[in-house]
């Protein structure tokens, strides 16, 4: 599956390119395409005069990203790069390939030092650290080429700290030329902003779940599975008693809540505080392990802190079988979280 799309205008002099999703080949699943395919697709357009590259990507393969950035910098056309959702990690480097660089209102740019997960002896780890420094210096040069030499130290510090920037922040640092107030950020703004925005909604959801049994997630499990989880019975039993259990759920749902207003307010405060702690713990775990792309899914799943940490560590462990240049290592597992598998493991531990 391609992470980009190229479309020429009817006049043959202008073309648009859309970069979405993870850049390069997914080392786990084999999905995606290389920078060569991207470059060949643009070259096939012929001598276009203007090229607009629309970016909404969490990053991807370092080598592919650097190759694309340098190709765009050297293209004969007037190249405009536009961040329309997020340009994180190596996608931010690609954004530097434009002769003119713009960001939509509400979009985000993230720059950071390269990182990896690896194992080896002391000599191998020291060499790996040197290699990461070399990669960092190469990426730094692409940012400095746009922002100017006087900004080198400031950009280097921003990379070291892993910095998320709005359009105004990026323009102040000299990385982009303009914030397009007429262009709204893409709906898929990225895992970080979705995770934080979802925190308040999720707290309210937890409060509502205290008053009614859990409902099945859309397309995530069957009705029988949902009933089985709600009543802590086997799916076969739930299926046989579906009508009875359904009536019981309706009765619970329609039962008036008699808690005093003060108690309700206290419950709301407790739910918000608990959800804030859960989200902070998930963000901390994802940041520590480098699994940033898991944030939105984990927050939306209502998974408790310990279970979420276990899931993140499982993904991180699966990603550590060797050194890879991808900066979005979710192990290629693009499907949703396997809630049934996680609950099954939890029950097995409880039974032992």
The pLDDT profile of the chain, 352 residues, written as one tens digit per residue, is: 577 888 888 888 899 999 987 888 765 556 667 888 899 999 999 889 999 999 998 888 888 899 999 999 999 999 999 999 899 999 999 999 999 999 999 899 999 998 876 778 889 888 888 888 999 999 999 999 999 999 999 999 999 999 999 999 999 999 999 998 776 555 444 444 433 333 334 344 444 444 455 444 444 445 566 666 666 677 777 677 766 766 666 666 555 555 555 566 677 777 777 877 887 788 778 777 777 777 667 777 778 888 888 888 777 766 554 444 444 433 333 344 454 555 555 555 555 5
Q: What is the pLDDT of residue 225?
A: 63
Q: Which domains does the chain have, with CATH numbers?
A: 4-189 (3.90.226.10), 192-211+257-351 (no CATH)
The answer to whether 112 is a known catalytic residue is: yes
Q: What is the pLDDT of residue 177?
A: 95
Q: What is the pLDDT of residue 181?
A: 78
Where would I find the H helices in the chain? 35-43, 62-74, 90-95, 122-147, 152-160, 167-172, 191-209, 223-231, 235-240, 242-254, 261-289, 295-300, 305-318, 339-351
Q: What is the pLDDT of residue 26?
A: 65
The answer to whether 89 is a known catalytic residue is: yes
Catalytic residue among 54, 57, 107, 112: 112
Q: What is the pLDDT of residue 220?
A: 42
Place of tokens 């979802």: 198
Q: What is the pLDDT of residue 58?
A: 86
Place of tokens 């299926």: 239
DSSP state of 102: E
For strands 108-111 and 100-105, give the pairing: unpaired
Catalytic residue among 89, 193, 301, 328: 89
Q: What is the pLDDT of residue 253?
A: 55
What the block records as the tokens of 154 is 């400031």
């Amino acid at each position: 599956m391609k992470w980009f799309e190229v479309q020429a205008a009817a006049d043959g002099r202008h073309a648009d390119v859309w970069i979405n999703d993870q850049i390069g080949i997914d080392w786990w699943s084999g999905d995606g395409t290389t920078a060569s395919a991207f470059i060949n697709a643009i070259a096939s357009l012929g001598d276009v005069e203007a090229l607009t590259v629309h970016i909404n990507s969490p990053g991807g393969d370092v080598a592919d990203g650097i190759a694309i950035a340098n190709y765009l910098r050297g293209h004969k056309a007037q190249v405009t790069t536009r961040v329309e959702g997020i340009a994180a990690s190596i996608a931010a480097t690609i954004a530097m390939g434009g002769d003119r660089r713009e960001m939509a209102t509400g979009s985000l740019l993230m720059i950071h030092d390269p990182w990896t997960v690896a194992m080896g002896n002391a000599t191998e780890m020291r060499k790996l650290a040197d290699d990461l420094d070399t990669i960092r210096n190469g990426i730094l040069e692409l940012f400095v080429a746009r922002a100017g030499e006087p900004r080198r130290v400031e950009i280097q510090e921003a990379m070291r700290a892993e910095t998320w920037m709005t359009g105004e922040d990026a323009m102040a640092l000299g990385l982009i030329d303009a914030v397009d107030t007429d262009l709204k950020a893409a709906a898929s703004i990225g895992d970080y902003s979705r995770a934080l925005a979802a925190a308040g909604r999720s707290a309210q959801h937890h409060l509502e779940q205290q008053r009614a049994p859990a409902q099945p997630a859309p397309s995530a499990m069957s009705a029988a599975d949902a009933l089985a989880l709600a009543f802590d019975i086997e799916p076969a039993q739930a299926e046989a008693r579906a009508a009875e259990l359904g009536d019981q759920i309706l009765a619970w749902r329609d039962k008036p809540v008699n808690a005093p207003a003060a108690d309700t307010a206290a419950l709301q405060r407790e739910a918000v505080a608990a959800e804030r702690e859960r989200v902070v713990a998930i963000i901390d775990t994802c940041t520590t392990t480098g699994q940033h792309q898991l944030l939105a899914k984990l927050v939306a799943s209502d998974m408790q802190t310990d279970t979420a940490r276990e899931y993140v560590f499982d993904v991180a462990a699966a990603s550590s079988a060797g050194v890879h240049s991808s900066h979005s290592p979710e192990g290629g597992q693009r499907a949703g979280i396997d809630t049934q598998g996680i609950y099954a493991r939890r029950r097995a531990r409880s039974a032992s």
